[in-house]
């Protein structure tokens, strides 16, 4: 367990209408992702936002689901931002490396190509204990951090007249 305090951030204030966030989660490690989801729910609620949640099979499917959501959002935007959650724990094969690299690369490519407001909360850890520490309901919760990142991006998009 870490003795270093995580970041302490104020509630993100987003001007304009209530923020609509789509949470795309890969609940393969349900307890871990559930803890991060609670962090997302808290942060979005504190900001007065609305949250919709969808599940995908695993981390590898996160970028494709994000792309589908953005494509579905073309005509009439349903969401102002997106949060992606998942967890990959290193095993005995190189499967971990491939999944982590491709999921991260896929989300980064979509992010830079689309300019969408995205908070990325994919835990890539060596042990389940590391994941537990990052999904607790304290300042270390990576779901809460991903939600804060998405809200900050939504605020930036609105500031620049993009959403």
Q: Which domains does the chain have, with CATH numbers?
A: 21-159 (3.40.50.960)
pTM over 0.75: yes
Known binding-site positions for (2S)-2-hydroxy-3-oxobutyl phosphate: 92-93, 134
pLDDT of 65 above 70: yes
Residue positions forming the annotated binding site = 28, 59-61, 87-89, 92-93, 120, 134
Based on the residue annotation, tell me whether 126 is a catalytic residue of this protein.
Answer: no
How much is the CA Rg of the chain, to the nearest whole Å? 15
Q: What is the mean pLDDT of residues 68-82?
A: 88
Choosing from 95, 98, 126, 140, which is the catalytic residue? 95
The tens digit of pLDDT for each residue in 38-53 reads 999 999 999 999 999 9
pLDDT of amino acid 2:
45
Flag whether pLDDT at 23 surpasses 60.
Answer: yes
Token code pair at residue 16: 């304009």
């Amino acid at each position: 367990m870490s003795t270093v305090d995580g970041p302490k951030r104020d509630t993100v204030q987003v001007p304009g209408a209530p923020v609509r966030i789509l949470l795309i989660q890969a609940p393969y490690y349900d307890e871990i992702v559930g803890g991060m989801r609670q962090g997302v729910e808290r942060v979005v609620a504190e900001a007065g936002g609305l949250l919709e949640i969808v599940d995908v099979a695993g981390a590898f499917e996160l970028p494709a689901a994000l792309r589908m959501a953005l494509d579905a959002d073309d005509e009439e935007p349903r969401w102002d931002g997106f949060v992606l959650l998942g967890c990959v724990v290193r095993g005995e094969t190189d499967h971990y490396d491939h999944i982590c690299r491709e999921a991260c690369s896929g989300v980064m490519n979509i992010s830079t190509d689309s300019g969408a407001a995205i908070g990325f909360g994919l835990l890539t850890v060596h042990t389940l204990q590391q994941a537990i520490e990052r999904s607790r309901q304290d300042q270390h919760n990576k779901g809460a951090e991903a939600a804060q990142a998405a809200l900050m991006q939504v605020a930036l998009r609105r500031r620049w007249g993009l959403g």
